[in-house]
Amino acid sequence: MLHLLYKFWRDHKAAAAVEMAWVGMFMGLMTLPFIDLADVTFTSMKLAAALNSSILYALKNPTDTAGMSTVVQRVSNFDASKLTVNAENFCECNGSEADCNSTCDAGIEKFMTINASFSRPLMFSYPGIDNPYLLSRQRTVRVQ
């Protein structure tokens, strides 16, 4: 019996298979954070594209802030409970903020700012990274 244990201990025929099993397991575990990162990046680009569409809508309908929020929701196709969209108008006179009803020598410039935030859950929790991960984007356009 002792001879069989010694023979088993000295046998290295399956060492490569065992090492490959360990390496494969660690490579698989190391891949999961990259999958999460890729999905967060894709979600961020999708949110940016939805905001760009909303800006195009704002150029046609500068006072319809509810419509801008609807455009972001429909284009992104995100869950409405995890998506927050805020649109607001502001005006400038000679580069500084001004009341939209005031007069200005150079003329009042009207702008629209649209902010969107999406709370995306991660597959796993990572140290130093909030779960769910909050993605935020902002776009500003001159509407008049």
The DSSP secondary structure of 35-102, one letter per residue, reads HHHHHHHHHHHHHHHHHHHHHHHHHH-TT-HHHHHHHHHHHH---GGGEEEEEEEEEEETTEEE-TTS
What are the distances in angstroms from CA 50 to CA 7, 29, 42, 110, 139? 66, 33, 12, 22, 10
Contact (CB, 8 A) for 75 and 49: yes
Residues belonging to the chain: 144
Q: What is the mean pLDDT of each run of 10 residues along the chain (144 residues)?
A: 69 73 86 90 94 92 88 90 91 84 83 92 87 92 85
Please state the domain extents for the chain.
15-142
Contact (CB, 8 A) for 139 and 113: yes
pTM here is: 0.75
The pLDDT value given to residue 50: 94
- C-alpha 104/C-alpha 58 separation (Å) is 23
The pLDDT value given to residue 97: 84
